[in-house]
Amino acid sequence: MEISEQKLTVLDIQNVSISYGGDLAVRNVSMPIFEKTITAIIGPSGCGKSTLLRSFNRMNDFIENVEQSGKITLNRQDLYGAGVDPVEVRLRVGMVFQKPNPFPKSIFRNVAWGPTINGLSGDIEERVITALQQAALWDEVKDRLQDSALNLSGGQQQRLCIARALAMKPEVILMDEPCSALDPVSTSRIEDLLFELKREYTIVIVTHNMQQAARVSEYTAFLENGILVEFGDTDQVFTRPENHRTEEYVTGRFG
């Protein structure tokens, strides 16, 4: 693995295994997530990408009979340690989901919702505007902030969900196939957006789209049957994979 060591490890995943009612979905995965980079998690469907990603902000807590072992730290703090409040974890690790899920509220209130309920400091309006600008949505919605978010197109809704996450100013943003429900134009808009965002944020993106992973990420993790087959620089994983399974997958011979 050619990994530059001077980068700061924000999330550290150590020997993580996750099972649903005894069936292992993630098997003994260890990998770092570096500060202000984009890490892509790729792999065939059902290989455990979402399960792994959701363990980074304790979203698996809501699923009955999930069992997890191993350790995940955020800036050296154990996310699953005794006394850790999952609500606090999610304040610092935001998430964007596969299907856009805006609240049935106005555009403004969608973005303002997180900071408001958490009583975050500062001017809410400013936060909303900044977040919408960062999500490259501001120009399209600035004249209709009070409209229902449900009137936006799918691509706009997904960028709204990104803005909603950004308004919390999280340390890490997790994205679970954020473009899979979108058309190619909306997809490329979001990819452009990712380039902008990584200057300030640490991003982990799950995708089944290899080109997307190759285009946007600096690090790539290839998962198969819950096993982390390969992790490394995106260039290296796509051009000189160490494992032949990775090679078969990225060259499109299966999956």
Partner 1 sequence: METNLQGRPRLGEKLLEGSFFCCACISIVTTVVVICILAFETYGFFVEIPITDFLFGTEWTPLLQPKSYGILPLLCGTLMIVVGSSLVALPVGIAAAVYLSEYASDRVRNIVKPVLEILAGIPTVVYGFFALTFITPMLQAIFESTHVFNAASAAIVVGIMVLPMVASMCDDALQSVPDSLREGAYSLGATSFEVTTRIVLPAALSGIFASFVLAISRAIGETMAVTLAAGATPNFTLNPLESIQTMTAYIVQVSLGDTPAGTLTYKTLFAVAALLFTLTLALNLTASAVMRRFKETYE
Ligand X SMILES: Nc1ncnc2c1ncn2[C@@H]1O[C@H](COP(=O)(O)OP(=O)(O)O)[C@@H](O)[C@H]1O
**Distances in Å between the alpha carbon of 171 and those of 95, 140, 183, 199, 229?**
11, 27, 29, 12, 27
**Binding-site size, partner 1 (CB under 8 A):** 27
Amino acid, res. 166: L
Identify the CA nearest to 134 among candidates 161, 103, 95, 100. Answer: 161
What is the dihedral angle through the alpha carbons of 69, 201, 116, 175, rounded to the nearest 10 degrees?
-60
Q: Are 205 and 214 in contact (CB under 8 A)?
A: no
| In the complex, least distance from residue 53 CB atom to ligand X, rounded to whole angstroms | 8
Q: From the list partner 1, Mg ion, ligand X, none, pick the one residue 62 interacts with, judged by a Cβ distance below 5 to 8 Å according to partner type.
A: partner 1
From 49, 127, 164, 189, residue interacting with partner 1 (rule: CB under 8 A)? 164
Burial (Cβ within 10 Å: 0-12, 13-18, ≥19) of residue 96: buried
Look at the alpha carbons of 233, 237, 243, 249 in this order and tell me if their dihedral is positive or negative: positive
| In the complex, least distance from residue 134 CB atom to partner 1, rounded to whole angstroms | 16
From 88, 123, 196, 242, residue interacting with partner 1 (rule: CB under 8 A)? 88
Q: Work out whether 118 is an interface residue with partner 1 (CB under 8 A).
A: yes
Nearer to ligand X, 46 or 81 (CB): 46
Q: Work out whether 138 is an interface residue with ligand X (CB under 6 A).
A: no
| In the complex, least distance from residue 208 CB atom to Mg ion, rounded to whole angstroms | 8
Q: Work out whether 79 is an interface residue with ligand X (CB under 6 A).
A: no
Residue 49 structure tokens:
């990408």
**Binding-site size, ligand X (CB under 6 A):** 11
Q: From the list ligand X, Mg ion, partner 1, none, pick the one residue 20 interacts with, judged by a Cβ distance below 5 to 8 Å according to partner type.
A: ligand X
Distance CA 122, CA 119 (A): 9
Nearer to partner 1, 164 or 189 (CB): 164
Distance CA 229, CA 27 (A): 11
Q: Work out whether 183 is an interface residue with partner 1 (CB under 8 A).
A: no
Distance CA 23, CA 17 (A): 10
For residue 28, the number of C-alpha atoms closer than 13 Å in the C-beta half-sphere is: 1
Q: Work out whether 50 is an interface residue with Mg ion (CB under 5 A).
A: yes
Chain residues binding partner 1 by CB under 8 A are 57, 59, 62, 64, 87-88, 90-91, 94-95, 97, 99, 101-105, 113-114, 117-118, 148, 150, 161, 164-165, 168
Give the footprint of ligand X on this chain (CB under 6 A): 20, 25, 43, 45-51, 63
Binding site residues, Mg ion, CB under 5 A: 50
